[in-house]
């Protein structure tokens, strides 16, 4: 099991999700089309809902 951390990048299908703010009960993330995109839609979810969103996703390691 991988612990969620701020600034992690996840890839699922053709979307990328970067954790922008990690809080005790919630996650603010940015949804992007490319891993290095500057712009993207910001969303807020509970940690549980974020885990459901990225189920089956791949963690992209930082270079």
The answer to the question of residue 61 being in a domain is: no
Residue 15's SS3 state is strand
Question: What's the whole-number average pLDDT of the chain?
Answer: 93
Instruction: pLDDT band for 62, please (50, 70, 90 cuts).
Output: low
Confidence (pLDDT) at 34: 94
pLDDT score of 10 = 97
55 within some domain: no
Does a structural domain hold residue 14? yes
Domain-located, residue 29: yes
Q: Is the pLDDT of residue 63 over 60?
A: no
Q: Quote the pTM value.
A: 0.91
Beta-carbon contacts of residue 53 (< 8 Å; ≥ 6 apart): 12, 17, 45
> Quick check: is 53 in a domain?
no
39: helix, strand or coil: coil
- Whether residue 43 has pLDDT greater than 90: yes
Host domain of residue 5: 1-44
Tally Cβ neighbours within 10 Å of residue 9. Answer: 19
**Structural domain count, the chain:** 1
Strands (DSSP E) along 1-63, which ranges?
A: 9-12, 15-22, 26-32, 41-46, 58-60
pLDDT over threshold 80, residue 55: yes
């Amino acid at each position: 099991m991988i612990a969620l951390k701020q600034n992690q990048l996840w890839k699922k299908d053709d979307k990328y999700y970067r954790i922008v703010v990690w809080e005790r009960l919630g996650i603010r993330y940015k949804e992007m089309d490319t891993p290095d995109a500057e712009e993207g839609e910001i969303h807020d979810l509970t940690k549980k809902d974020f885990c459901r969103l990225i189920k089956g996703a791949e963690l992209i390691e930082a270079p």
